[in-house]
Amino acid sequence: EVQLVESGGGLVQPGRSLRLSCAASGFSFDDYAMHWVRQVPGKGLEWVAGINWNSGSIGYTASVKGRFTISRDNAKNSLYLQMNSLRGEDTALYYCTKDFGPEVGTTDFWGQGTLVTVSS
Amino acid sequence: EIVLTQSPATLSLSPGERATLSCRASQSVSRYLAWYQQKPGQAPRLLIYDTSNRATGIPARFSGSGSGTDFTLTISSLEPEDFAIYYCMQRSNWPPLTFGGGTKVEIK
């Protein structure tokens, strides 16, 4: 059974940093691209970042480029999102998602999310 | 960035009725469009990928069609568990992957 368990969310002040983690199980992690997608409670979905199977292809949405870094450790079956210079508009539920295949494309499975609140 | 516009924002229907949801792209995404369902308090679930392919375990009452810039998700006969929010997403041109704003299917 595919499982994605996010952690690392919480309350953080503007300008500070936070690192999200996603522990994956139930599938061959290093065969699949992975993503982070966020959702402000009560609002729509926003893709944040994606990484292919071997970290050779990475992309970000414009609003986080230069502030956020997606990475993965295939030996640990883990995905990460390092978030720096956080802003109020980064407040959201952050989902770790699995792709269909090794390159960035359609996400086919989602974790339950970890909530990030940026506020003073 | 490709913008996806979903319509209508809200669809009020009764169980057993047919639901037709639209997703329009600001430029061609070929057939690289997916549909997701999200219920309150839950993560989204993939329904359809690459326009018309049902994901594993998705009932046959869900179908997708379209190409280029205009896409449709059809639910042939609404079941009580189908009342939810539906999002389209394109993977044609990234970064970024982009989602539509969603269509809420509510009970009339």
Candidates B20, B34, B9; CA nearest to B78 is B20
Q: What is the separation of C-alpha B73 from the centre of its chain, rounded to a whole number of angstroms?
A: 5
Å from A61 to nearest chain B CA?
Answer: 5
Q: What pairs with residue B36 in β-bridges?
A: B46, B87
* CB < 8 Å to A102, chain B: none
pLDDT score at B93: 86
Q: Which of B45, B49, B102 sits opposite A44 (nearest CB)?
A: B102
- % of residues, chain A, pLDDT over 90: 99
Does residue A24 carry a pLDDT above 90? yes
Q: What are the pLDDT digits (tens) for B47-105? A: 999 999 999 999 999 999 999 999 999 999 999 999 999 999 999 989 999 999 999 99
- Strand residue runs (E) in chain B: 4-7, 10-13, 19-25, 33-38, 45-49, 53-54, 62-67, 70-75, 85-90, 98-99, 103-107
Residue A27 at interface with chain B, using a CB cutoff of 8 Å: no
- B26-56 pLDDT, tens digit per residue, is 999 999 999 999 999 999 999 999 999 999 9
Span A38-78, pLDDT tens digits: 999 999 999 999 999 999 999 999 999 999 999 999 999 99
Q: Is A60 on the interface with B (CB under 8 A)?
A: yes
Tokens of A2: 């595919």
Sign of CA dihedral A61, B90, B59, B103: positive
The phi-psi region of residue A48 (left if phi > 0; otherwise alpha if psi is between -120 and 50; otherwise beta) is alpha
Smallest Cα distance from A57 to chain B, Å: 10
CB interface of B with A, residues 56-85, below 8 Å: none
Give the minimum alpha-carbon distance from A101 to chain B in angstroms, rounded to a whole number.
12
Contact call for A60 and B95, based on CB within 8 A: yes
Number of H helices and number of E strands within chain A?
0, 11
> CB of B68 within 8 A of CB of B29?
yes
- The tokens for B56 are 């594993």
CB proximity A30 to B under 8 Å: no
What's the one-letter identity of residue A101?
Answer: G
> Is the pLDDT reported for residue B24 higher than 90?
yes
How far is A33 from A77, CA to CA, in rounded Å? 12
Instruction: Please list, in sequence order, all residues whose beta carbon lies within 8 angstroms of the beta carbon of residue A77, skipping any fewer than 6 positions away.
Output: A23, A24, A25, A29
- B1, B95, B99 ranked by CB distance to A45: nearest: B99
Q: Do B49 and A100 touch (CB under 8 A)?
A: yes
- Cβ atoms of A6 and A24 closer than 8 Å: no
Please tell me the predicted confidence (pLDDT) of residue A16: 98
Residues of chain A in contact with residue B95, where contact means CB-CB under 8 angstroms, are: 50, 59-61
Q: Is pLDDT above 90 for B21?
A: yes
Residues B88, B103 contacting (CB under 8 angstroms): no
